Structure 1
Amino acid sequence: MRDETCDVAVIGAGTAGLAAYRAATEEGARAVLIERGPGGTTCARVGCMPSKLLIAAAEAAHRAREADLFGIRIGSVSVDGPAVLERVRAERDRFVGKVLEGVDRFPEGDRLSGTARFLDSHSLAIGDAVRLRFRAAVVATGSSPAVPEPLRGLGDRLLTTDTLFEIPDLPRSLAVLGLGAVGIEIAQAMARLGVKVTAIDSGRTIAGLTEPDLLERAVAIFGGEFALLQDTRVEATRREGEGVRLSFTGKDGAGSSLEVERVLSAAGRPPNVGGLGLETTGVALDGDGMPEFDSRSLVCRGGPILIAGDADGWRPVLHEASRQGGIAGRNAAALAAGRSTEAPEPWPALAMVFTHPQAAAIGAPFETGAGDRIVAGADFGNQGRARAEGVNRGGIRLWAAPNGRLLGAEMLGPAVEHLAHIVSGALRDGLTAAALLDRPYYHPTIEEGLSSVLSEIVQKITDESRL
């Protein structure tokens, strides 16, 4: 085993790891990037991009079927499953290739391939070939799909996002377990592509929405496109014939079963921290083996180790992984040089779901009975631009402090990805509803729906001041 040294060791070449490596080197540190493969980032290979390609195909089929609304007669619509998946893979591979090209431009001496494990607080073994001594290390090992115990043993009839996009054709029927972002996106896309879908979740939330009225609307909207089973627990599964039989208990306590061709596990992505040898570093670990860390500086308690991106499980979305990687890289370089670290204020929470209609949650979560908040809402049902385009479903809920400072929002509707960015920026800048309302809102746009909610908050504050 040969010995090498560096200032900063970065474990993982995903979004967070790449950002950490760049930030550390920009600070003057000698950084080494370690990747066990396959590389290309979770987003590009198995996450954001292939799922959006599938959603785009599904939306094309859906819009064609719905063209009658506008007096456009298309006739029957057929879906070529192999062609859909071939395009998904081709475009996915292009995105991955761009990422890998960027990594290949890093100095060869700064890249190591193999599985890393800590030997102690200042050294790593990379496979059986290299012992790497470091002054600080960044754990950016990402996450992997969870497979609940009842689904294990199904072999190739079980799909995760790591395998879904590799299948040669669309299944005839699919059970999706989990109604978070991944589950609801894939369930709707598959249904619109002609797959018979049953979506199952043990809880009551959908697409991260918790505000009661929006959640009720989401159940009605998505439940109109595929079978939706909430408060339902899968007890067992078995291979049967050419498919899978699932046995489950519904919210009424009654048992039932369902046969499908394939099952997709969309039950979350736990961090990849097992097998890293973190117990040898002196870092404080919780009962699940996760390092205890400061969410602002990303420094772990008890050693010169930092953690970033999906590996820390805090906010597992790409824009947070990129920012966290930069913070961790700069702070790792500072620790290596004996300088003080930075602890910037976290961004407002921002989560989006790219269904149709889209969903988003921004800032402070909804709280039932929070008497110190001003809550306002709008319905897209009669909103001008939404009706013109035939996408008039869903609504907006926005909450603010008594002084009008915006706190958070949930949304379900058209163009929500853009509305959510507007609100997120306002939260970052500490704006009040009145300040955000005092901006131009062009007519006719979906953004006018947001302005109407802001007007309601301002009016409620005015009414309160008159009492």
Structure 2
Amino acid sequence: MQTLSTDVAIIGAGTAGLAAYRAAREHTDKVLLIEGGPHGTTCARVGCMPSKLLIAAAEHAHHASHNGVFGVDYAAPKIDGKKVMQRVQKERDRFVGFVLKSVDSFPAQHKISGYATFVNQQQLQVEQADGTQLTINAHRIVIATGSSPFVPEFLKSAGDRLLINDDLFELTDLPQSVAVFGPGVIGLELGQALSRLGVKVVMFGASGSLGPLQDEKIRDYAHAQFNQEFYLDSAAKVEHISHQGNSVQVRYQHRDKGLISESFDYLLAATGRRANLTQLRIENADLTLDDLGVPVHDRYTGQCGQSPIFIAGDVSNAIPLLHEAADEGKIAGDNAGRSLKNAADVRAGLRRTPIGVVFTEPQIATVGLSLPQLKQRGEHCYAIGEVSFEDQGRSRVMHKNIGLLRVYGEQGTGLLLGAEMFGPAAEHIAHQLAWVIQMRMTVPQILDLPFYHPVIEEGVRTALRDLNHQLHIGPEMVEKCLDCGPGA
């Protein structure tokens, strides 16, 4: 059995692992990057990029929905499912290629292909692709093994008609019908895209939740809007699932029809993800684990207790987003390398204002603190301002006047603390709100910033003016004020 020694060993070459590798190399050249599966990152292969490619096709197919509004009408779209999937896969492979090219540039001696398990806090055993065993002694270890789709046991009765998002992007043609289980981010994005591409979609949830939304008013609004396009029950009562030939049968309580059975080509399980820890033999690392078996760690340093082990990315079970994984990887890799000379030299890294976007139409965005988090602070510690986009000028001009924005501010200080939105241009508005929250700006300071006319962002100003009044800082908002411009 071969034995190697290194300063930093990184398990996993996804977004977090690659960021950790680059950061650690700023301190030492003795770094090993261990990857058991294919390179290319979850985002590029099966996540954000292929899903956005499917959504882009769906948006083009949906143009005819505006018929009768502008005086410019479209014929019903002719959707070639095979060509849709060919473009998704071709462009997906191109994005993966960019990642592979980057990894190829790393020195060969830094890369190990195989699956790692812990022997102790500073030793790993790697089963390499050729079946041979490799022992690695490392002064520091970074766990960046990512996450995998979680499929509840009762869905597995769908047999070979069961899909996860990884499988969906490998289809050569669009199916005729899909039952989507899980109205989270993945389920909503893929479900709406498939529906707009002519696939019959029925979506089931269990807990009543919808995407990342925590504000009940916005969640109810969004739930009603999605039901305009496809059947969605976020608290469904599903009685039975069975595999029948080339289809899957679902028996459930329909809101209007009572108990019914429907047949679908596939069942798509979008029921969340779980940290990739089971194969690591994490128990050998002698770490404190939480209720889900994830190592307890400092989110600002990535360090697991006082151990020489750091954790980053989706495996930390915190915020499963690429930019968060990149930040966590950079912090963990930097501290793993930095602490080689002085074990106490572990520094807090920058954690940015939380921001999340769901690329449905209308889009969903969450920024900063959520409403439940604010309620934990005390019912009288915050105030809420809101705006409907149904009569907002620029939104009506574009016939995208569906949506609601709610902004949250702190009583006393006037600081903007968070926001939730279901509406037009949410991906852009979320960034603007995240920036001013991270800069710790007050609502009056934000209102002093420029707002052009006519733009969707004028709706943000309306919500902030409402919040300013609710915080007892400014006057009551004047409805349809003339200085805002018509339809602001």
- The verdict on a shared fold, with TM-score over 0.5 as the criterion, is yes
Deviation at residue 420 of structure 1 after TM alignment: 0.5
Determine the structure 2 residue equivalent to 1:263.
Answer: 267
Q: Note the aligned Cα RMSD (angstroms).
A: 1.9
Determine the structure 2 residue equivalent to 1:376.
Answer: 385
Deviation at residue 465 of structure 1 after TM alignment: 9.7
Paired residues, number: 465
Segment of structure 1 superposing worse, 272-281 or 101-110: 272-281
- Establish whether residue 358 from structure 1 lines up as the match of residue 363 from structure 2: yes
- Establish whether residue 424 from structure 1 lines up as the match of residue 434 from structure 2: yes
Give the alignment of 1:38-437 within 5 angstroms. Answer: 38-127=38-127, 128-248=132-252, 256-301=260-305, 303-339=307-343, 340-344=345-349, 346-367=351-372, 370-402=379-411, 403-437=413-447
Quickly say closer, same or farther: Cα 1:296–1:255, change in 2 above 3 A: farther
Do the aligned partners of 2:301 and 2:331 also contact (CA within 8 Å) in 1?
A: yes
Determine the structure 2 residue equivalent to 1:20.
Answer: 20
Structure 2 counterpart of 1:121, which letter?
Q
Deviation at residue 71 of structure 1 after TM alignment: 1.1
What TM-score do the two structures reach when normalised by structure 1?
0.96
CA distance in 2, matches of 1:155, 1:87: 28
Determine the structure 1 residue equivalent to 2:453.
Answer: 443
3-state DSSP of counterpart to 1:444: coil
3-state DSSP of counterpart to 1:162: helix
Deviation at residue 155 of structure 1 after TM alignment: 3.3
CA distance in 2, matches of 1:48, 1:156: 25
Quickly say closer, same or farther: Cα 1:211–1:327, change in 2 above 3 A: same
CA distance in 2, matches of 1:428, 1:22: 26
Structure 2 counterpart of 1:94, which letter?
R
Structure 2 counterpart of 1:433, which letter?
V
Structure 2 counterpart of 1:356, which letter?
E
Structure 2 counterpart of 1:353, which letter?
V
CA distance in 2, matches of 1:392, 1:464: 27
CA distance in 2, matches of 1:235, 1:15: 39
Structure 2 counterpart of 1:435, which letter?
Q
Do the aligned partners of 1:404 and 1:457 also contact (CA within 8 Å) in 2?
A: no
What TM-score do the two structures reach when normalised by structure 2?
0.92
Deviation at residue 405 of structure 1 after TM alignment: 0.4
Quickly say closer, same or farther: Cα 1:288–1:457, change in 2 above 3 A: closer
Deviation at residue 463 of structure 1 after TM alignment: 5.9
Do the aligned partners of 1:284 and 1:302 also contact (CA within 8 Å) in 2?
A: no
3-state DSSP of counterpart to 1:320: helix
Determine the structure 1 residue equivalent to 2:482.
Answer: none
Structure 2 counterpart of 1:110, which letter?
H
Segment of structure 1 superposing worse, 344-353 or 406-415: 344-353
**Cα deviation per residue 1:273-308 (whole Å; 9 max; x = unaligned)?**
111011111111234322111111111125211110
Structure 1 counterpart of 2:97, which letter?
G
**Cα deviation per residue 1:335-367 (whole Å; 9 max; x = unaligned)?**
333241011353222111000000011111113
CA distance in 2, matches of 1:427, 1:36: 40
Deviation at residue 214 of structure 1 after TM alignment: 1.3
CA distance in 2, matches of 1:76, 1:465: 50
Deviation at residue 390 of structure 1 after TM alignment: 0.7
